[in-house]
Amino acid sequence: MLYYFLINLFSLKKGMDKVVGVELSHRFAPIAIRERLALNTEQTRAAIRALKESYKEIIIISTCNRLSIYAFGKSHNQILEYFDQFGNYRQYLSILPDSEIAVRNLFSTAAGLESQAIGEHQIIGQIKDAFDLAREEKTIGPVLDELIGQALKSGKKVRTETNIGKFSASLATVGYELIKDHGFNFEDTTFLVIGTGNMANLVTTVLDRNKIKKLYIASHDIDRARDMAKEWHGDAVDMQDMHTPLSEAEVIIGGTQGEINLLHEETMAVSKCPRANFALQTGGRKLFIDFGVPRNFNPELKNHENISLYDLDDIKKITYDGLLKRYDEIPKARMLVNDEVERFMVWLRNRKVAPIIEAYWNNLENIKEEELKWLLPKMDNVDDKTIDLLNRFTHRLLRRISNPSIEGVKNMAQNIHHRDNPINTAKEILDVKEVDIFIPKKKIIVGTRGSKLALTQTNWIVDRLKEIEPDYEFETKIIRTSGDDGDINVVGAFTSALQRAMLAGDIDIAIHSYKDIPTEEVNGLRVIPVTAREDHRDVLISKSGKTLENLPAGAVIGTGSLRRTVQLKQVRPDLEYQFIQGNVDSRIHQMESGKYDAIILAAAGLKRMNMLESATEIFNDDVMVPAVGQGILGIELIDKEGYILDLIKQLRLEETRIAADAERTFLIALGGGCNLPIAAYATVHGDQMNMTGVFANEDGSIFTKGSISGPVEDKRSLANELAMRLKEEVEELKKEITADAGIKQH
């Protein structure tokens, strides 16, 4: 630690470094995506070396369920750019843009809270392996050294003080249960284990509990296979000669990082390789358990009656019931993790002032040496023992005298952003004015929801603010809302918790999708629409790839919006429209799982997450008028003059502001928060504004749509005029329907 500390002692001279990260994990990415980005040891080394150009400290944790890259630097953007070289995968990535968010994610991972099998132990060893590899590549500095050490300590503490790891839920145990559940008698069963890495060792350990008929161990490294076979009384097989044991074995377990080509052709039925066709020719039952990433076995094997194949995603589903007991331990585990995260954050903040403390201590040491040089010649016959005693005494004296000052400086580090910064005062008091550390002019805490879309939008806005004020520090803080907990029926489901946090002083600003902001203003707060409007349109994503026009009658459309439902009914009244809830990823997953034939989403969110290519069809304004404010971002802040307001104003765009004001006026004129379908879209062309609006009853049986144009300075009166016109049309249609019903009844 001292070595690392001295090397990086003055690393904070310009810019505020922080712990950042980007993660691809089983939480948001299916195995088909994870295996494309899986890195073996040499690929991990290459990745670390590539990222060395951007970060002095970096670690990559690559496992079957995650690829996590953590670094100490100014931004996570360079890590995102590294992922981009593999293709457009940003929609699957979790962004960890700030120290506390990244640290909490790593500590939760080490505790087993982010694993497929909650509480599993293997992740501890995988983090250690990643740590060792990063050390070999010399990318572990003082921050990551402390971070990884504390993460491992936190993970062990959670498992010691809770029961989260004491119920069977490891991948090895799941594999063992699968074998038993499929009715294999161990004593009459031949096993083939492919690979000699950690997963293969775990599975072989499970097999060691029983007497088995025969065990084969196959590997590209025949020497390792022989060593493992000798230990477990099996036979070693070179991967090239695997066809014989493959045909003989009833249970085949894959756990190698390397692709097994003989079972991975796209179409086994037309393969010329006889070993790949064994599944079509053998008559016995076979069970394949695939722990590999990339997958070791061709998914086509599932189509054969005598074959049972389970990959990591299948195992994730199977383990659900077995994990329920571990889930009961999660609240206690999270409390422990939170304590450890706070402890590390105190250390990290203290580190900001380490150069001052070091310089102060060096000054004291120099004074001590000078005074001893004066004292010792004046003492007669001083022996070495006395000199040593004097040195120890003066050192202890300096420690006692300096300790209150050093602790005071550390306390100041916990709030380094005061207007008249106490750190500058400390430098004066301690006479270390020459020490140069970065002290931000201001610190702005940015509140956001924790969804991927919300974080993506927030990170984008923060990057724009940093461009304007590079000497400010921006800290992102996640606030959980009612909408995140599934309660979207309350007013301000996605905003009220952020507003309360702002009024309480926990955050300075909040980033919202403008369409989520209730019409009722919160006293003391104001919202400013900012930047250019993103794509305002809605899109259809269909499971079959068919457009709205080509979907069969009765197809089920998932949407959480009455606005969308009533407009689509004007075009396709023969489709079934059902309520859907959740973020972008979960809605797509619900469709892919068969609950819906298609779903409707906003183009803006998909575009910001680099997912617009997943859209089957983008609706024009003739089919679908967007929600009020759709595609616009709003920054909410305390309604008072000051540096925050001055900064936010620089992101304002006049066209966006005019459109937002006009559309919001239209919404308020029609009742604002009422549970009726309302849509509006305003555009500005020079000094003219055009606006289209929709108003209907809940079931869409009474539907009106209209447009209006005029000077931009009349935006509110134009919006009110259009709203009143559509409202009157609805009332007239209601009267006509009532009259017609009376005539028919008569």
- As a whole number of angstroms, the distance between CA 589 and CA 592 comes to 5
- As a whole number of angstroms, the distance between CA 203 and CA 35 comes to 21
- The bridge status of strand 66-73 relative to strand 18-25 is antiparallel
Q: Tell me how far CA of residue 250 lies from CA of 187, 189, 236, 256, 601, in angstroms.
A: 12, 6, 17, 19, 47
For residue 682, give the amino acid letter.
A
Taking residue 443's Cβ as centre, other Cβ atoms within 10 Å add up to 15
Handedness of CA 648, 654, 659, 664 (dihedral sign): positive
Written as one string, the DSSP assignment of 633-691 is EEEEEESS-SHHHHHHHTT--HHHHHHHHHHHHHHHHTTTTSSS-EEEEEEEETTEEEE
Backbone angles phi, psi at 122, to 5 degrees: -60, -30
Written as one string, the DSSP assignment of 17-42 is -EEEEEEEETTTS-HHHHTTS---HH
Paired tokens of 293:
């990433």
Paired tokens of 229:
């076979």
Residue ranges of alpha helices (H) inside 137-197 are 142-161, 171-181
Question: Which residue, among 270, 240, 273, has the nearest Cα to 258 in the 3D structure?
Answer: 240
- As a whole number of angstroms, the distance between CA 516 and CA 632 comes to 10
Asked if 421 and 432 count as a contact pair (C-beta separation under 8 A), the reply is no
Question: Which residue, among 56, 49, 50, 48, has the nearest Cα to 10 in the 3D structure?
Answer: 56
Residue 506 designated active-site: no
Going by the DSSP 8-state scheme, the letter that residue 522 receives in this structure is P
Question: Which residue, among 115, 166, 296, has the nearest Cα to 218 in the 3D structure?
Answer: 296
Within 13 Å of residue 542, how many CA atoms lie on the same side as its CB?
Answer: 16
- Give the CA angle between residues 706, 708, 710 to the nearest 5°: 175
Active-site position among 98, 145, 484, 516: 516
- As a whole number of angstroms, the distance between CA 194 and CA 238 comes to 10
User: Per residue, what are the HEC states of 237-292?
Assistant: EEHHHCHHHHHHCCEEEECCCCCCHHHCCCCHHHCCCCCCCHHHHCCCCEEEEECC
Residues 6+ apart with CB under 8 A from 121: 112, 159, 165, 170
Measured distance between the N- and C-terminal CA atoms of the chain, rounded to whole angstroms: 92
User: Which residues carry out catalysis?
Assistant: 516
